[in-house]
Amino acid sequence: MKRFAAIDLFAGAGGMSLGAVRAGMRVALAVERDPNAARTYAANHRGTAVFSNDIRRLTPRRIRAVGSKGRTKIVFGGPPCQGFSYSNVRTRSAENADNWLFLEFIRVVRLWKPDWVVFENVKGIADTAGGVFVDHVVEQLEELGYAMAHGLLNAKDFGVPQDRARFFLIGCRTGIRPRLPRPSRRKSPTVAQAISDLPVLDNGASVSWIPYGDALPSYYARRLRNGKGKCPNHLVTRNCELVIRRYSHIPPGGNWENIPARLMRNYADRMRCHTGIYHRLRANRRSVVIGNFRKNMLIHPTQDRGLSVREAARIQSFPDDYEFHGSIGFQQQQVGNAVPPLLAEAVFKAIIAAAN
């Protein structure tokens, strides 16, 4: 059985790394410039060196020094994706400088010469600016000798209670033709199966470690529980009374359109709200995408409040002993930006199987 040593670029809170570790890989180095996400990563991946700085400051010497003796090498990561997102119409173009940070991914690959690469991003990268970014990645990896497979993978097909499609590219330069993992035959859990065992919360709940609720956990929830009898990050943004009143009018699956116009008067033009504004999740279905909390404003399926950080993390497939750091806003951002660990694990298991 081949052993893998990995570098995680644009690591965020560590969803990709968690999937890699669960698949059996050792992550030697993680690069993440956001200090809150880097703090979360370091707290949950104590055996990994964390470079908490701009990737452009990562020197060739530091890259080449990453230990990999006797191991198959792999580089993985997803450059900042806001510029590729369908929700970002202003900067979704080749003119957005941040969209070119994927060249740093290529630079690390060129210097470290890994056997495998995994490039991940939002599905919008495939057609942004006519697909120019994917074309650049493919072209440069081909020049470095990598055979590739790429396409969209949906988290719901790999045991995650969320309809979340992501772009993945897997490359190998050892003569193996890579393939994307096949969907699991097991049906993904519902929102209720993911979060109904967590305790009921009041608006603005701010105590991190609290006991689990009385509801019997599902198979999925039991897998994510930490054995401590308590869970961290079960925190909720405090909303004003007007927002709470709006919540009460929204049925499962509904959104801002269900709110009486008299309660939406502070919106200059409420008809321009997108479907994710004030969307209440359905307990008996998978979640929509867990993304930017402020833009999506997802509502708990039965309680008149937003999702807690822990509920969002559950829907992303993070275990309950994975603690997020920073203010509640930064924690929400970390969870929303993360790759679901179960999805990442499926990708890395497919690579390990192919390599052996």
At residue 134, does pLDDT exceed 50? yes
Residue 97 burial (10 A CB sphere; 0-12, 13-18, 19+): exposed
Which pLDDT score, from 0 to 100, does residue 95 have?
A: 52
CATH number at residue 324: 3.90.120.10
Q: Phi/psi of residue 172, each to 5°?
A: -140, 140
Residues making up the chain, counted from first to last: 356
The verdict on 127 and 162 lying in the same domain is: yes
In a 13 Å sphere around the CA of 135, the CA atoms on its Cβ side amount to: 7
Measured torsion, CA atoms of residues 161, 229, 50, 68, in degrees rounded to the nearest 10: -80
Q: Where are the beta strands (DSSP E) in 208-282?
A: 210-211, 230-231
The CATH number assigned to the domain holding 83 equals 3.40.50.150
Structure tokens at 143: 């020049």
pLDDT in tens, 287-318: 999 988 777 789 999 999 999 999 999 999 99
Q: How many domains does the chain have?
A: 2
Please tell me whether residues 153 and 270 are part of one structural domain: no
Cα 199 to Cα 344: distance, rounded to the nearest angstrom? 28
- 3-class secondary-structure state, position 101: helix
Question: Taking residues 152-176, what's their average pLDDT?
Answer: 97
Q: What is the pLDDT of residues 73-109, one digit of tens each?
A: 999 999 885 544 444 444 444 555 566 788 999 999 9
Judgement on whether residues 218 and 95 belong to the same structural domain of the protein: no
Does residue 81 carry a catalytic annotation?
yes
The domain in which residue 297 lies consists of 191-331
Same domain assignment for residues 134 and 223: no
Return the structure tokens found at 300. 């708990």
Q: What percent of the chain has pLDDT over 70?
A: 94
Instruction: Single out the catalytic residue among 81, 172, 231, 240.
Output: 81
Higher pLDDT, 207 or 127: 207
How high is the mean pLDDT of the chain? 91
Tokens linked to 121: 């991003």
122-147 mean pLDDT = 86
